[in-house]
Chain A
Amino acid sequence: MNVTVTVNGVRYSRDVEPRTLLVYFLREHLGLTGTHVGCDTSTCGACTVLLNGKAVKSCTVLAVQAEGAQITTVEGLAQGDRLHPIQQAFWDEHGLQCGFCTPGMMLAAVDLLQRNPNPTEEQIRHALEGNLCRCTGYQHIVNAVQAAARAMSAAVGAPSGGE
């Protein structure tokens, strides 16, 4: 079956087996390996991407279901040399260790900050419930999301804000 999607602003059209999961479509058909696979039960969140602006676990979506969609993966967060505030914050706050959960974690955080630009610590911890990290103990991830929230609200009004 043919699937046409726009990923990180680029249009792709590929023939896939109907059973192909979106995560494997991204990784194996498009070579976007920043999106990871950490489980087979839709539990870990390592595969999280933005599908039409909303965070989804790309292991629970068939590629064909994404027909016509706009998708953002970790590779699409930065604008050239300029990191997305969430990336900058994860770096500054040591929000990652092995980095395997990080792409999904950052995209889940972006989704949260779109819905709630100024979340409390508790709201952040709950919003990340679908994303597991075995390394960091989450504290620096929470700090990073808070730092990103501050950076993004400081940038509101600026033309590049929230990109």
Chain B
Amino acid sequence: MAVTQVFGARVRRREDPRLIRGTATYTDDLTLHGLCHAVFVRSPHAHARIRRIDTSRAKSAPGVVAVLTGADLEGKVNSIPCGWQVPNCDLKTPPHPPLARDKVRYVGDAVAVVVAESRAQAHDAAAAVEVDYEVLPAVVDMEAALRSATLVHDDVPQNRVLLWSVKGGDFEAAAREPGVRVVRQRLVNQRLIPNAMEPRAAVAHYNPGSGELTLWVTSQNPHIARVILSGVLGLPEHKLRVIAPEVGGGFGSKIPVYPEEAVVSHLAVRLGRPVKWVESRRENYLGTIHGRDHVTDAEMAVRPDGTVTGLRVRTLANFGAYLSTAAPAIPTILYGLVLSGPYRIPNIDCEVTGVFTNTTPTDAYRGAGRPEATYVLERMMDLAARELGLDPAEIRRRNLIPKDQFPYTVATGITYDSGDYARALDRALELFDYRRARADQEAARRQGRYLGIGLSTYVEICGAGPSKVVGSTGFSGGLWESAVVRFSPTGKVTVFTGTSPHGQGEETTFAQIVAQELGVPLDDVEVLHGDTDSILMGWGTYGSRTTPVGGTAVYLAAQKVKEKAARIAAHQLEVSADDLVFENGRFHVRGAPDRGMTIQEVSLQAYLAWNLPEGMEPGLEGQANWDPSNFVFPFGTHVCLVEVDPETGQVRILRYVAVDDCGRVINPLIVDGQVHGGIVQGVAQALWEFAQYDQAGNLLTGTMSDYAVPKAAWFPKFECDRTETPTPVNPLGVKGVGETGTIAATPCVVNAVMDALSPFGVRHVDMPLLPERVWRAIRQSKGGSAA
């Protein structure tokens, strides 16, 4: 019964039993009486006019219930809106019809939907839908798109989505300072496919009696989905229930509201039957958002002693064919505002041009903007170090924001909460045995082996966030979080959170917060999420916000429960609440430990309501809505060792050391898991992953066997450690940790490979650093024998 320290303990996850037994319910696992199956017909062309769609053959195919095209949805399912209208950037928001009307704009754009009794029948009938296309030239490359006469959307000139900028200080002046060197590099941050292992899916059920539509959907944020779909479908919000059941990963790709979800919802109403749609992996590659896809020209102004005085970037960001839900925020505020990283850089000048192309829409992919910014900054740091002949660790140390300067406002205007960046750097170098590793590298070179050591020091800006601030950046919502902590009469606790975890383990960490605060056994706490009917409001799980924002709401709700419980206990024990001590789940009278009652006894009394303080309402629950005053800023240093085989260009990671600081840690086991997963995704971008299109707009890496989702054998064991600098932003002192690995790992690995290639005079190679690219770079550098 006695609960000691659960906050900070390596507690096994409470969500796991159902997952390891195969009894969890993912969206595709649902079955309902009368269920029928939807399959979408998708464009094989990147850009084409739709002349005619003939559905007659499909309609008469066996088992077919309905076949609809865009015209059938006119006035019934509205355009899918964009949810982040970033101001002052001339943002263009062309309509996004749920099924394409006159034109298709990317390979995979849906043009029709077939519903049949079985999944197989729906597939068969979908193949019988005949679409007559007039193929148009496609724009794929961003620079070409800006100059092209071909427009993805007729009313968006130059295919320019937005032109956004942020400026702090005066870069020009910094660059003109005598002795200052300006380091320049063009950097490509390639397009990636999120690859959540569970593809997207939706099941919709309509009850004509109550007028209620229930949608089970693979979402990271069911409440946002409800608000948006309510508008898209013209259904009042209280008649729409959105449930995110078990969700098999998201990494940002399950934030947006997609056309299929709206269409399936509409079909359930229209047909009066429940409808299921499950994405194939091929469709996932085409129809679910992609991430990254930037081309950046960067300039860094640096003094001879390594002091960085300025950074100027000009970035092209590929939005694909339509504006996805959060897309405008990703390459703007989540990128430009964070370009100072962990450094004091007084002059920053960033300009971003967003471009429409005939490709899959892009949006948030793990890190969302921050990995792109960190990549630019950390590559430039290394290039500057190399030009000045400084050690990469040393140039970083000289520029880090010192720990006594917090809160620290960077040139882009945001204020960092807390940090001891040098300590994380020192710890990482110590763990890596950096000096020794440099000596080993020297020795290896003499033997003709090419080892490389790479570093990245980073700060992640997460835990969104102050609603007022995100509102001012154009987000059409708030980013506070709700929580209810409710005791039952028998003393068990149910927690309702507005966040929507899908692998991050908050059913465990939130239970740890409650168990710690209320002194109840961990197993007596159940954490519920992901249902708009049972949860007041919530903004979901992404951007490493779940624990710092949602966890804080849970903590505050628990405090309210404790306060009410104390008043009841004081009343029943006939003392003042000030005379009570609360220890291990029990209230007792100060100085008289025998006179007391457990919180479970209090709970029973709260529900019996036989003897409550005058005027107190029965029941025992606390509700809190927490809107943070600032973001939180986790940070750290990653160091890795690679070996490059100059004969084949093959890169092998020999060691990987990560020192992260995410403030106070609730569950080290879960934090380790988040860091590992992030590192793998970050490394994979550096070395293998690439969503590649041909000039006609065909996705060449269009199946899972063509796209390099990383495997277990490609990695060594990671060596992880932490420093712990609490944030003052929330009472728990916690920062986020979901994206740190992805942010830090990509530049860390690229820097290591470039370090390994430095004897060849290779300065930069764009990602992914596939053997062929590395091999060519070596060949080209060796006296022009260009391969």
Residues 13 to 28 of chain B near chain A (Cβ within 8 Å): 13, 15-17, 19-26, 28
Q: In the docked arrangement, what's the CA distance between A96 and B678, Å?
A: 14
Contacts of A131 in B (CB 8 A): 712
Least CB distance from A105 to B in Å reads 10
Q: Is B771 an interface residue (CB 8 A)?
A: no
Closest residue on chain A to residue B706 by CB atoms: A41
Q: Is B617 an interface residue (CB 8 A)?
A: no
Interface centre among B22, B703, B704 (most CB of A within 10 A): B22
Q: Are A46 and B120 in contact (CB under 8 A)?
A: no
Instruction: With A75-B23, A134-B195, A135-B503 as known contacts, state yes or no: A90 contacts B16, CB within 8 Å.
Output: yes
Q: A35-B22, A44-B197 are in contact. List 18 more A-B contacts (CB 8 A).
A: A39-B704, A40-B281, A41-B704, A43-B281, A43-B703, A43-B704, A75-B22, A90-B16, A94-B13, A97-B505, A99-B19, A106-B20, A128-B712, A133-B197, A136-B673, A136-B676, A139-B715, A142-B712
Least CB distance from A33 to B in Å reads 4
User: Interface 1/0s, chain B 695-721, versus A by CB < 8 A?
Assistant: 000000001110001011101011000
Q: Is A103 an interface residue (CB 8 A)?
A: yes
Q: Are B704 and A46 in contact (CB under 8 A)?
A: no
Contacts of A43 in B (CB 8 A): 281, 703-705, 709
Q: In the docked arrangement, what's the CA distance between A134 and B24, Å?
A: 18
Q: Is B777 an interface residue (CB 8 A)?
A: no
Interface centre among B15, B503, B679 (most CB of A within 10 A): B503
Contacts of A92 in B (CB 8 A): 12
Q: In the docked arrangement, what's the CA distance between A55 and B744, Å?
A: 36
Contacts of B672 in A (CB 8 A): 94, 139-140
Q: Are B249 and A134 in contact (CB under 8 A)?
A: yes
Least CB distance from B207 to A in Å reads 24
Q: Is A56 an interface residue (CB 8 A)?
A: no
- CB < 8 Å neighbour of B21 from A74, A126, A140: A74
Q: Are B502 and A98 in contact (CB under 8 A)?
A: yes
Residues 485 to 540 of chain B near chain A (Cβ within 8 Å): 502-505
Contacts of A125 in B (CB 8 A): 711-713, 715
Q: Are A134 and B709 in contact (CB under 8 A)?
A: yes
Q: In the docked arrangement, what's the CA distance between A140 and B669, Å?
A: 9
Residues 78 to 95 of chain A near chain B (Cβ within 8 Å): 78, 83, 87, 90-92, 94
B contact set with A: CB distance below 8 Å: 12-13, 15-17, 19-26, 28-29, 31, 119-120, 195-199, 246-249, 251, 278, 280-282, 502-505, 669-670, 672-673, 675-681, 703-705, 709, 711-713, 715, 717-718, 741
Interface centre among B198, B247, B278 (most CB of A within 10 A): B198
Q: Are A124 and B712 in contact (CB under 8 A)?
A: yes
Q: Are B503 and A98 in contact (CB under 8 A)?
A: yes
| Across the A-B interface, the 10 shortest Cβ-Cβ residue pairs | A34-B22, A137-B676, A100-B248, A99-B19, A98-B503, A74-B22, A97-B503, A33-B29, A137-B680, A138-B712
Residues 34 to 91 of chain A near chain B (Cβ within 8 Å): 34-44, 46, 73-75, 77-78, 83, 87, 90-91
Q: In the docked arrangement, what's the CA distance between A132 and B20, Å?
A: 16
Q: Are A40 and B282 in contact (CB under 8 A)?
A: yes
Least CB distance from B532 to A in Å reads 21
Least CB distance from B640 to A in Å reads 14
Contacts of A37 in B (CB 8 A): 28, 199, 278
Closest residue on chain B to residue A121 by CB atoms: B717
Q: In the docked arrangement, what's the CA distance between A83 and B16, Å?
A: 12
Contacts of A142 in B (CB 8 A): 712, 717
Q: In the docked arrangement, what's the CA distance between A35 and B26, Å?
A: 11
Q: Are B678 and A137 in contact (CB under 8 A)?
A: yes
Some 18 contacts from A to B, beta carbons below 8 A apart, are A27-B29, A31-B31, A33-B26, A37-B199, A37-B278, A39-B704, A40-B703, A41-B704, A43-B705, A74-B20, A91-B17, A96-B16, A97-B503, A128-B712, A136-B677, A137-B673, A137-B680, A139-B718
